[in-house]
Amino acid sequence: MSPDQLALDVIHTVGPRGHYLRERHTRSHFRDLGFSDVVHIPQKGGSYRDAIEVTREKTDWILENHHPEPLSESQQTELARILEAAESELC
């Protein structure tokens, strides 16, 4: 993240209720933004696929195909230690 990407000077100039679309920085960097591949999937006819349907398909694929490696013994021990410390702080 560079200072130009953060655009703190623009944020300071525009303020909390300002309009960022008037700013040159916004207009010149707008196309650099990443858009979700869930809500921007075109289909024939120029419309977009239903985001809920796409999300369900992706979720089903992940549940069927993603098989993470189990945590090592040392990772499990460290995780248990962290959880125990957090639990003692909450009680």
Angle 73-77-78 from CA coordinates, rounded to 5°? 120
Does residue 91 share a domain with residue 51?
yes
Residue 8: give the domain boundaries. 1-34
Q: Percent of the chain having pLDDT more than 70?
A: 96
Asked if 13 and 24 touch (Cβ cutoff 8 Å), the reply is no
Does residue 22 share a domain with residue 6?
yes
User: For residue 25, is pLDDT > 70?
Assistant: yes
Does residue 68 share a domain with residue 45?
yes
pLDDT recorded at residue 73: 97
Nearest to 27, CA basis, from 7, 2, 1 = 7
The count of structural domains within the chain is: 2
pLDDT recorded at residue 83: 96
Helix, strand and coil in the chain, % to nearest 5: 60, 0, 35
User: For residue 40, is pLDDT > 70?
Assistant: no
Does residue 85 share a domain with residue 44?
yes
Does residue 48 share a domain with residue 9?
no
User: For residue 26, is pLDDT > 70?
Assistant: yes
Mean model confidence pLDDT for the chain: 87
Nearest to 26, CA basis, from 9, 13, 10 = 10
